[in-house]
Amino acid sequence: MVNEFVFATVQYDSGDWDSAPLVPSNVIDAVARYTSIPVAPQGAIVPLASEALLRHPFAWLTGHLPVRFSDAERRMLVRYVERGGLLVVDDHNHDIDGEFHKSATEELRRTLGPLTELPNDHELYRAFFTFEDGPPTTSHELNGWGDNLVHRNLLAHVRNGRIGVLYSNKDYSSEWSYHPDTKRFLAVDNTRFAVNLVVYALTR
């Protein structure tokens, strides 16, 4: 089926773009588990500099290492966001002093302009499930990983009233990088926020 949602992981030249290989299947599982949205059973890997990115209006970018976009990647990212794509960038280090955070935010600011704090009452947090306090905390924030801080807000580049780039220090890449079958052991599914991301992307 072609008219379906495909979870796209962005492959970029620098850094370790494939650091969270289980996130796509887990998000796909969550979308299918809670919604009737047609979804592809497997994710896709799309180079950031490729025109193929424009076939995927929702894309996920993560990593631990410094992020430096090439000119072609920068140009494509600008086109992508201008045309209505949503890129979710997650800091797999969960560390505001980390090189991923510093380099990725610098690259995003340089390419697209300022990143602003997304208010915690933004409709993203009510797009499907309701998250009263904004972005859900991750075990990695609470259990002492990374910078040992609970980040209260996500950052976003908003264009024409819509999020073009969502930047997270929460380390959802670690939080969601597990086999979906083990989800049954969780009292509360921690991938519910991923459903909000996808529903927001598909409906706003």
- Near other proteins in 110-169, by CB under 8 A: 110, 113, 123, 126-130, 137-145, 147-150, 159-162
* Cα dihedral value 113, 80, 191, 90, nearest 10: -40
Q: Is 198 helix (H, G, I), strand (E, B) or coil?
A: helix
Sequence-distant (6+) residues with CB within 8 A of 43 are 6, 7, 8, 9, 24, 25, 27, 28
Closest to other proteins by CB, 167 or 191: 191
Tell which one of 42, 75, 117, 119 touches other proteins (CB under 8 A).
42
Token pair belonging to 103: 């380099």
Tell which one of 9, 12, 17, 30 touches other proteins (CB under 8 A).
30
Binders of other proteins in range 55-74 (CB under 8 A): 55, 57, 64-66, 68, 70-71
Q: Which amino acid is at 162?
A: R
Number of residues that bind other proteins (CB under 8 A): 88
DSSP collapsed to 3 states, 14-66: CCCCCCCCCHHHHHHHHHHHHCCCCECCCCEEEECCCHHHHHCCEEEEEECCC
In whole angstroms, how close is the CB of 26 to other proteins at the nearest point?
8
Residue 159, beta-bridge partner list:
162
Binders of other proteins in range 76-95 (CB under 8 A): 82-85, 92-93
| DSSP structural state of residue 4 | S
Closest to other proteins by CB, 136 or 155: 136
Tell which one of 75, 109, 117, 179 touches other proteins (CB under 8 A).
179
Tell which one of 105, 168, 169, 174 touches other proteins (CB under 8 A).
174
In whole angstroms, how close is the CB of 132 to other proteins at the nearest point?
12
Selection from 156, 6, 3, 187 nearest residue 88 by Cα: 156
In whole angstroms, how close is the CB of 145 to other proteins at the nearest point?
6
- Asked if 170 interacts with other proteins (CB under 8 A), we say no
